[in-house]
Amino acid sequence: MKTNIHIGGRKAVCPDEVVLLIANENYTQVVCTDGTKLLVATTLKELERRFCRNPYFVRTHKSFVVNLQYISNYQSLEDNFIEMVNDTKVTVSRRRKQVLQERIFNFK
């Protein structure tokens, strides 16, 4: 049984159901596999700390943490973005690009 991760307030989610986390100042939008989007009053930095205990999560940019299980296209990594299964395009910073490539290579 997977452990749920507390994301803020009374909300907790299973990490396998999270596609990505998107920063919005001091709030974070949690995008789930079923299409729901939860807005929580927790910073991306704090949620990154909680989710990155799970080997599938990696920070790609100052505004994004992605779940490697839900990357649909990383061929466009040369253009500094990846595409998620829900058709969201996620920016990859130049500084984090190498780490992401290594994590994708080790994951696949």
Q: Tens digit of pLDDT for each residue in 63-106? A: 999 999 999 998 777 789 999 999 999 999 999 999 999 998 88
Q: What is the pLDDT of residue 3?
A: 87
Q: What is the pLDDT of residue 78?
A: 77
The total domain count for the chain is: 1
Phi, psi of 7 (to 5 degrees): -110, -5
CATH number, domain of 38, equals 2.40.50.1020
Dihedral sign of CA atoms 27, 15, 1, 34 in order: positive
Q: What is the pLDDT of residue 1?
A: 46
Q: What is the pLDDT of residue 22?
A: 98
pTM of the model: 0.91
Can you give the residue range of the structural domain that contains 95?
A: 5-107
For residues 40-68, average pLDDT:
95
Task: Calculate the alpha carbon distances from 36 to 17, 20, 33, 86, 88 in Å.
Answer: 10, 11, 7, 11, 14
Residue 2, pLDDT above cutoff 90: no
89-91 β-sheet, strand order: 71-73, 81-84, 89-91
Residue 38 corresponds to which tokens in the numbers above?
A: 């939860």
Q: Tens digit of pLDDT for each residue in 22-33? A: 999 999 999 999
